[in-house]
Amino acid sequence: MTTNTPRASQAVIRLERRYEADVEDLWYLWTTKEGFESWWGPEGFRVEVRKLDLRVGGELEYDMIAVAPEQIEFLRKANMPASHGTRGTFAQIAPFERLEIIHMIDFIPGKRPYENRTRVEFFPEGNSVRMLITVDEHHDEQWTRLATMGWESQLTKLPGALAARK
């Protein structure tokens, strides 16, 4: 039997990074319009935040916009627009400790919308912060792999965003 719904959701993407930064600066990058826009999205994309209501149940809405020619071409071949609205809800907020966002994945052609959880935990350790991100699997292995590549790419933007805060 084939279905368009994802399997039972479980965290399969696990990313851990350490940054020479204050936890307050990392928190700012995740929880403010300006911070989020400064790094979110893989290389070749930018975002414009339309709404960021930082409270449990609060909405996160932004446009993911392809700006690099190779990203625009990939999306065209996948029959996807170069820009799409993305929606999420803040499910858990413990300032400077942990944050959980449930994204609605509703932009994949031919797939029924589904929820996807992202959890981030912050562990201050001396002059640095260890950040642990776990993300649920997607509807199939290919999209989980693409999401992992996207996360790896967008995390390369964080050091520059942190440097700009100083």
Contacts of 31 (CB under 8 A, 6+ apart): 52, 54, 99
Which position has the higher pLDDT, 68 or 161? 161
What type of residue is 17?
A: R
CB 87 within 8 A of CB 106: yes
Which position has the higher pLDDT, 36 or 6? 36
Could you read off the pLDDT of 34-85 as tens digits, one per residue?
999 999 999 999 999 999 999 999 999 999 999 988 888 988 888 888 888 9
Please determine, for residue 20, whether its predicted confidence score (pLDDT) is greater than 60.
yes
Distance CA 99, CA 90 (A): 8
The one-character DSSP state at 58 is -
What integer is the mean pLDDT of 4-26? 79
Q: Which pLDDT band, with edges at 50, 70 and 90, does 2 fall under?
A: very low
What pLDDT is stored for residue 11 in this prediction? Answer: 59
Is the pTM above the cut of 0.75? yes
Pick from 6-20, 25-39, 79-93, 141-155: least confident? 6-20
Please determine, for residue 117, whether its predicted confidence score (pLDDT) is greater than 70.
yes
20, burial (CB in 10 Å: exposed 0-12, middle 13-18, buried 19+)? exposed
Structural domains in the chain plus CATH codes: 11-165 (3.30.530.20)
Contacts of 151 (CB under 8 A, 6+ apart): 13, 15, 42, 133, 135
Most confident of 7-21, 43-57, 65-79, 97-111: 43-57
Distance CA 108, CA 86 (A): 11
Give CA separation, 80 vs 9, 30, 77, 91, in Å.
24, 26, 8, 28
Instruction: With CA atoms as reference, report the closest residue to 50 among 88, 81, 99.
Output: 88
Percent of the chain with pLDDT over 70: 93
